[in-house]
Amino acid sequence: MKKIPALLLMAAFGLLSARSVAQSKSPRADTCACAQLARMHIPQATITTTECVPAGTFKPPGNGPAISDLPAFCRVAAVLQPSPDSHIRIELWLPETGWNERFLGTGTGGGAGYINYGSLATGLRKGFATTNTDMGTFPGANELAGHPEKWTDFGHRATHEMTVAGKAITEAYYHKSARKAYFSGCSTGGQQALMESQRYPNDYDGILAGAPANNRTHLHTGFIWILRATNDLPGSTFPKQKLDLITRAVLNACAGKDGGAPGDNFLTNPAACRFDPETLPVCPDGTDDSTCLTRSQITALKKIWEGPVNPRTGERIYTPIPLGSENVAAGIDIQQNPALAPNALFYQYKWAFGKDFDYKTFDFDHDQDELDALLGPVLNANDSDLSAFKQNSSKLLLYTGTADPLVPYQDALSYYERVMGVQGGLSQTRDFFRFYLIPGMGHCNGGPGLNDGGDMLTALIKWREEGIAPQQLTGTAYEGGDAKKGVRFRRPVYPYPLLPAYKAGDESSPESYEGVAQPKAKVKEPAARYLKSIKQARTSGTK
């Protein structure tokens, strides 16, 4: 199932209901242990729903689809209010039987504003006491101009408050605390994950962070950059057929030469690809068809591949999309669309500059500084000093796809290398933090290559609880990106700096690959002024 369009359009998959216990579907509502939690007192919180849900199918509140194959569980919903202007909705699903004695915090996507029932269901089926939050942005992130406390909730506070309340409710229900606590999230969920490791290092014993949107005020500037590059001059946008043309040309030049297999339709190491846009077919003057690019489109493509820079100083603000991701879902096709991108991706600019923010007038110099000064300290999780997290004996797994055009892998790679710098090298970092580049994966899943990196949550748990550090994992590519349609191929993935290198044999078999440290190709990473840590942003502003 493709999740990208829903993320980009900020679809709410369900609205938290304030149903009373008497409205429960379960005939045991008045007597079940879950109902007793309604009387529980949690500081700065109001429990709105406690119900015993029988095994089978559960229909979430709102318009979300019914979820099947669920074990019986205790459903708790609450509203948290750490500030007078906060309204953070959370849900906690507690297995009635078969609890694995672990607590699992889960993440969300986009500007949040909804409860991620899919993640709750996944965690519940695996035996976790599982929680999720709307991050305090309901009814939508675009509506929060003039509400700085809600910005803080979205940035980091909602996830921490969810964790504290969720642990307390779990202990009250089972009459004992969870043995271990884990967090798993991708995209905005990846931002939540890294925020937890940096700001609240004692919340979780293990954290799984995917495609993290942690460099938030600069990531979104990349969206403005693409929208401007393709719309400032007439004739600069790209029909889908031309995006396919561009990606085919890149792959023809580089696929299979970057460590991957000869038949790959994706790049394993995009940083190793050298491609000149001037080699693309150019339409004769006055013509325009799907087999060539106009001069305006060539100019726009060069700008997209360069990525956002400060026009006055030349400093890089953010990294560009990876080569080979031009036609991948959530990429240029959506980001160039002025009818879609602003509503889905520009909420933080509305917080900083008002609800009538016009991307066409954004100044990549002074406006960027103003945005960073206002929102950087609460939204950006760039702090590379994870010493407190490490001292807690906690473990962190980070992963991202090499074909992700929404949150480019280069920023996560840059973050990992900065952590290594603080720790004093790779070996000191690998003791508690490992990073996996997933060849050909798009944003969190999907994409032309692998759709996952294997069961990373289980690997994280074994690392934390049994001391078995994850090394080689096995990722899977599914037909149409859908696990229900069958497997296309499998391939090993390795912790940085290793990438899977093709040896010989069946390209779809994991045995045909080995982990090799590829020659390091420098990625385009933001300038130091756009990588300030939380501590730096608080003390030095943007100068």
Catalytic residues: 187, 404, 443
Q: Tell me how far apart the alpha carbons of residues 518 and 271 are, in angstroms, rounded to a whole number.
A: 10
Given a contact cutoff of 8 angstroms between Cβ atoms, the answer to whether 419 and 427 are in contact is no
Residue 297 structure tokens: 């489109």
Given a contact cutoff of 8 angstroms between Cβ atoms, the answer to whether 219 and 405 are in contact is no
Given a contact cutoff of 8 angstroms between Cβ atoms, the answer to whether 98 and 71 are in contact is yes
Q: Is 412 helix (H, G, I), strand (E, B) or coil?
A: helix
For residue 310, what are the β-bridge partners? Answer: none
> Which residue do the tokens 């400032």 mark?
232
Closest CA to 155 of 171, 169, 172, 135: 135
Q: Tell me how far apart the alpha carbons of residues 2 and 17 are, in angstroms, rounded to a whole number.
A: 26
Supply the DSSP string of 162-179, one letter for each residue: HHHHHHHHHHHHHTS--S
Given a contact cutoff of 8 angstroms between Cβ atoms, the answer to whether 113 and 138 are in contact is yes
Residue 191 structure tokens: 């931002």
DSSP class of 155:
I
Position 532, amino acid? K
Q: At what angle do helices 216-231 and 366-379 cross, to 10 degrees?
A: 140
Closest CA to 328 of 409, 413, 240: 240
Residue 139 structure tokens: 């009814």
Q: Tell me how far apart the alpha carbons of residues 131 and 182 are, in angstroms, rounded to a whole number.
A: 11
Interior angle at CA 475, CA 470 and CA 476, nearest 5: 160
Q: Is 233 exposed, middle or buried (0-12, 13-18, 19+ CB in 10 A)?
A: middle
Position 501, amino acid? A
Given a contact cutoff of 8 angstroms between Cβ atoms, the answer to whether 478 and 451 are in contact is yes
Q: Tell me how far apart the alpha carbons of residues 279 and 362 are, in angstroms, rounded to a whole number.
A: 32
Given a contact cutoff of 8 angstroms between Cβ atoms, the answer to whether 349 and 357 are in contact is yes
The number of beta carbons lying within 10 Å of the beta carbon of residue 362 is 18
DSSP class of 420:
H
Q: Tell me how far apart the alpha carbons of residues 209 and 186 are, in angstroms, rounded to a whole number.
A: 6
Q: Tell me how far apart the alpha carbons of residues 19 and 12 are, in angstroms, rounded to a whole number.
A: 19
Closest CA to 167 of 49, 45, 48: 45
DSSP class of 46:
E
Residues 6+ apart with CB under 8 A from 10: 110, 111, 113, 140, 141, 142, 343, 344
Q: Tell me how far apart the alpha carbons of residues 499 and 456 are, in angstroms, rounded to a whole number.
A: 17
Task: Determine phi and psi for 473, rounding to 5 degrees.
Answer: -115, 170
DSSP class of 23:
G
